[in-house]
Amino acid sequence: MHINVNQFKAEISGKSAQIGLWLSLGSAYTTEICAGAGFDWVLIDGEHTPNDLQSILAQLQVLAGYPDTHPVARLPMGHGRIGEMLIKQYLDIGVQTLLIPMVDTAEQAAAIVRAARYPQDDGGGGIRGIAGARASRWGRIGDYAKRANQEVCLLLQAESVAALQNLDAIAATEGVDGIFIGPADLSASLGHVGNPEHPVVQAAIADAFQRVHRVGKAVGILTPQEAMARRYLEMGASFVAVGLDTSLLVQGTSILIKKFKAEASDLTQSKTY
């Protein structure tokens, strides 16, 4: 048995645009429905949703049946001892690509890289603990500990003024594969809460894209608006989430009920008894 090659990591390093979907419902059933659509990647969100390790594991197991759709998982946090523990647990259940929120400094970035790496013979500085967990198929992948580091993909989320100030150093940190711009929190940090389309926010995002590109790393973002998604792709985004499962459900159900409520009202008014 062999370790799975992280094709998503290879694709974004080659600057091939990957189109994704945000998953927040915490359901393996709905995750399978979304995976069947053919997205390049899906983000299982552990920060702003009811997801926990058990529900994330269930979704990973479902997604294993859709090898062309790569699972990315966002942790609740990645800093300090709790962050180190969560990184280890997410990797042990088989997540190969992690999105770490609220990374503001290069020091935090370096600590996250160490937490996601096994110590190697060359003294690479990793601190990830070794266990015969699902990621190694309970020890059946004999060389897992030797090869895991090269298949882990680390995406760090820049979503504050502090992150923008330190962005060059964060992106240049060895072991960081990509930077994800968080437009919602970034707009709040820039004084335009709830308005990621504000010109100041958009200028900051455009500048961030250029700076990340200059250090040779991939950059990604989330937007459910088609025009914005296309603009970010034109700006060179390597991975873009173009929708959210929750938003799709909200929009679809709202349109449906509005349509039939209006029709029912018209029918009632037109009836004669």
Whole-number Å distance between alpha carbons of 7 and 58? 21
Whole-number Å distance between alpha carbons of 183 and 168? 18
Of 148, 81, 141, give the one whose Cα is nearest residue 116. Answer: 148
Whole-number Å distance between alpha carbons of 155 and 170? 11
Residue 18 CA, chain-centre distance (Å), reads 12
N-terminal to C-terminal alpha carbon distance within the chain: 74
Which entry of 2, 48, 70, 213 is annotated as an active-site residue? Answer: 48
Is residue 34 within 8 Å of 71, Cβ to Cβ?
A: no
Q: In a 10 Å sphere around its CB, with 0-12 CB exposed, 13-18 middle and 19+ buried, how is residue 158 labelled? A: buried
Annotation marks residue 48 as catalytic: yes
For residue 135, give the DSSP letter.
G
Residue 105 CA, chain-centre distance (Å), reads 19
| Catalytic residue ranges | 48
